[in-house]
A = this chain, B = another copy of it.
Amino acid sequence: MSGPITPKVLIQAEDFDAAAEAGALSAGRKDVGALVTFTGLCRDEDGRLSALELEHYPGMAEAEITRIAKEACSRWPLTGLTVIHRFGKIAPGGNIVLVAAASSHRRAAFEAADYLMDFLKTRAPFWKKEHLKEGSEGSWVEAKTIDDDAAKRWTPG
The distance in angstroms between the C-alpha atoms of A43 and B29, with both chains bound, is 9
- Contact between B43 and A32 (Cβ–Cβ < 8 Å)? yes
The distance in angstroms between the C-alpha atoms of A117 and B43, with both chains bound, is 27
Minimal beta-carbon separation of A130 from chain B (angstroms): 13
Minimal beta-carbon separation of A90 from chain B (angstroms): 12
- Contact between B33 and A40 (Cβ–Cβ < 8 Å)? yes
- Contact between B26 and A34 (Cβ–Cβ < 8 Å)? no
- Contact between A106 and B40 (Cβ–Cβ < 8 Å)? yes
Contact partner of A36 (CB less than 8 A), chosen from B20, B29, B38, B43, is B38
What total of chain A residues lie within 8 Å of the partner, measured CB to CB?
36
Q: A107 in the interface, Cβ–Cβ < 8 Å?
A: yes
Minimal beta-carbon separation of A5 from chain B (angstroms): 17
Closest to A107 in B: B150
Check A43/B31 contact, CB under 8 A, given A36-B36, A107-B150, A110-B114.
yes
- Contact between A93 and B30 (Cβ–Cβ < 8 Å)? yes
By a CB distance below 8 angstroms, the chain B residues around A23 are 19
The distance in angstroms between the C-alpha atoms of A41 and B104, with both chains bound, is 9
- Contact between B93 and A26 (Cβ–Cβ < 8 Å)? yes
By a CB distance below 8 angstroms, the chain B residues around A35 are 37-39, 41
In the complex, given contacts A32-B41, A33-B40, what are 16 additional A-B residue pairs having Cβ atoms less than 8 angstroms apart?
Answer: A18-B19, A29-B93, A30-B42, A30-B43, A30-B44, A30-B92, A31-B43, A31-B44, A32-B43, A34-B40, A34-B41, A36-B36, A36-B37, A37-B37, A106-B117, A110-B110
